[in-house]
Amino acid sequence: MAPGRFITLEGGEGAGKSTLARSLADRVEALGLRVSVTREPGGSPKAEAIREAILSGRVKQHGAFVEALMFSAARIDHIDRLIRPALQRGEWVICDRFIDSTRVYQGALGRIDAGLLAELEAVTIDGLMPDLTLILDLDPTIGLARAARRRAPGEGSDRFESETLAFHRTLRQAYLAIAEREPSRCVVLDAAQPPAVLAQAAWTAIRERLPAPQVA
Q: Which is nearer to ligand TMP, 25 or 33 (by Cβ)?
A: 25
CA end-to-end distance (rounded Å), the chain = 18
**Residue 160 is a binding residue for ligand TMP (CB under 6 A):** yes
Radius of gyration of the chain measured on its C-alpha atoms: 17
> Total residues contacting ligand TMP (rule CB under 6 A)?
10
Q: How far apart are CA 35 and CA 191, in angstroms?
A: 23
CB of 44 to ligand TMP, least distance (A): 13
Q: How far apart are CA 194 and CA 200, in angstroms?
A: 10
CB of 160 to ligand TMP, least distance (A): 3
**Residue 175 is a binding residue for ligand TMP (CB under 6 A):** no
Q: Which is nearer to ligand TMP, 56 or 214 (by Cβ)?
A: 56
Q: How far apart are CA 6 and CA 186, in angstroms?
A: 13
Q: How far apart are CA 55 and CA 27, in angstroms?
A: 31
**Residue 105 is a binding residue for ligand TMP (CB under 6 A):** yes
State the greatest distance between any 2 C-alpha atoms of the chain, in Å, as a whole number.
Answer: 49
CB 39 within 8 A of CB 198: no
Query: Residue 57: which region, alpha, beta or left (left: phi > 0; alpha: psi -120 to 50)?
Result: left
- Over the window 52 to 91, marking each residue x when it contacts ligand TMP by CB under 6 A and - when it does not, the resulting string is -------------------x--------------------
Q: How far apart are CA 210 and CA 137, in angstroms?
A: 21
Please identify, among the stretches 96-104, 137-145, 149-157, 176-184, the one whose residues bind ligand TMP according to the rule CB under 6 A.
Answer: 96-104
Mode of pairing for the β-strands spanning 6-11 and 35-39: unpaired
CB of 213 to ligand TMP, least distance (A): 32
Residues 78, 97, 168, 209: which binds ligand TMP (CB under 6 A)? 97
- Over the window 16 to 45, marking each residue x when it contacts ligand TMP by CB under 6 A and - when it does not, the resulting string is ------------------------xx----
CB 60 within 8 A of CB 24: no
**Residue 133 is a binding residue for ligand TMP (CB under 6 A):** no
Q: Which is nearer to ligand TMP, 92 or 160 (by Cβ)?
A: 160
Instruction: Enumerate binding residues for ligand TMP (CB under 6 A).
Output: 13, 40-41, 71, 97, 101-102, 105-106, 160
